[in-house]
Amino acid sequence: METISPKLLNWASILDKQTRDQAVMTAGLPFIYPHLALMPDAHLGKGATVGSVIPTLRAIIPAAVGVDIGCGMIAVRTQYSVKDLPKDRKRLREDIERVIPLSAGHNNKQVMATAEPRIAELKRLAAKAGFNPAQYIAKWELQLGSLGSGNHFIEVSADEHDGVWLFLHSGSRGVGNKIAQHHIGVAQHVSRKNQVYLPDPDLAYLDEGTPQFERYIAELRWAQHFALLNREEMMDRVSARFSHWVGGSVRELERINCHHNFTEQETHYGKKVWVSRKGAIKAGHGDPGLIPGSMGTASYVVVGLGNPASLNSSPHGAGREYSRNAARKTFTLEELKRAMRGIEFRASEAFIDEIPAAYKPIDQVMQDAADLVTVRHKLRQLVNVKGN
């Protein structure tokens, strides 16, 4: 761990100047307390750095939560071993692709029976929060159980004992994005109205106790729960298709579901603060967690060590070294195919920007996180599903 300043602690051994400067800028805000914690996977983000833990006193920065509110991971450990699996992994990949809408803008054509109780729960929560999600997305219900694109994925993996895991990454989809963008805009409007100087407009904040703050928190919590249920819904569908493929039901030995774009009120260094983890997971003592690598590399099942300096946090993944545009200009489909050798996936130029070489080496990230989490399992990919 490196102390960049009294207000900025850094766990990233790989850190470019732009990312460092952005973190320094955010850490300089007057309501940061006690300090910003920069995780090993840190890279440049909108307003605030992705891979940062941002504690704020009586204020919150909507862009520091991120536009994919509640994005995170879910994993299920099954009773199966690699030796139990059929040889034709392509059949499973294509089956998963049929039952889960992939890519940005792709939703379910109708509400699935498995999604109905989850949607009913979300409607009750929205009514209690005093808003209608349809003001953001007219048919938001059709997004529950859809993956999205970018670095979102569905995988079948195996641990060091050849135990088979089902693993996926997604968030609150379009409805969460619209909620986030709306409140980022509200914060910017309030800052302009109050003539607040900001080093970056995306660091606009809302003061605790104001109507704008209360409205954001209510809708944020709803979107976080949508994201959690979205992962649960997809995992149930993946589990059903996996069961059909192996010819037997899945017995869940373990299920872990954790956010990495979210805010919670917590007590640190003697004060109640709003902790925004933007590309970071909660890693309090004993907290289960999931840290995936990039497409084609290892993922980790971890348990938190409760490091107080990190504000009980850890990285959420590998972290980008190349922007998406730079990766598309630098790497080729053939290089992606070589990186994915032995893994069943859909070979497409659409995924070049997800090539492992575009990310920090996950093993280095985990080495940097040695005082944040303990590794329980290291997973290798068998099947990978992504949206364009």
Confidence of residue 103 (pLDDT cuts 50, 70, 90): confident
Strand partners, 206: 60
**Quick check: 13 and 383 in contact, CB under 8 A?**
no
pLDDT score recorded for residue 186: 98
Total residues belonging to the chain: 388
**227 in Cβ contact with 65 (< 8 Å):** no
C-alpha 347/C-alpha 340 separation (Å) is 9
Report CA-CA distances (Å) from 233 to 77, 98, 201, 309, 333.
16, 15, 36, 35, 32
Read off the pLDDT band of 265 (50, 70, 90).
very high
pLDDT at 61 over 90: yes
> What tens digit of pLDDT does each residue of 340-355 get?
999 999 999 999 999 9
- DSSP H or E segment with residue 247: none
| Span 216-264, pLDDT tens digits | 999 999 999 999 999 999 999 999 999 999 999 999 999 999 999 999 9
Give the fold, CATH level 3, of 2-385.
tRNA-splicing ligase RtcB (3.90.1860)
Number of other CB atoms surrounding residue 186 within 10 Å: 17
Catalytic residues: 316
Of all residues in the chain, the percent with pLDDT exceeding 70 is 100
Long-range contacts of 88-92 (CB under 8 A, 24+ apart): 89/156, 89/344, 89/382, 89/383, 90/344, 91/245, 92/156, 92/241, 92/242, 92/245, 92/344, 92/383
Higher pLDDT residue, 313 or 106? 313
Best CA proximity match to 222, nearest among 274, 144, 148, 314:
144
Gap between the Cα atoms of 35 and 308, Å rounded = 11
> pLDDT tens digit string along 62-78?
999 999 999 999 999 99
Structure token digits, residue 314:
């850890």
Between the two ends of the chain, the Cα-to-Cα distance in Å is 37
**Residues whose CB falls within 8 Å of the CB of residue 113, separated by 6 or more in sequence, listed in order:** none
Which of the four pLDDT bands, split at 50, 70 and 90, describes residue 155? very high
Domain ranges (residues) in the chain: 2-385
pLDDT value of residue 56: 98
Q: What does the pLDDT read at residue 104?
A: 83
Place 47 in a pLDDT band, splitting at 50, 70 and 90. Answer: confident
pTM: 0.95
pLDDT at 42: 97
Average pLDDT over the chain reads: 96
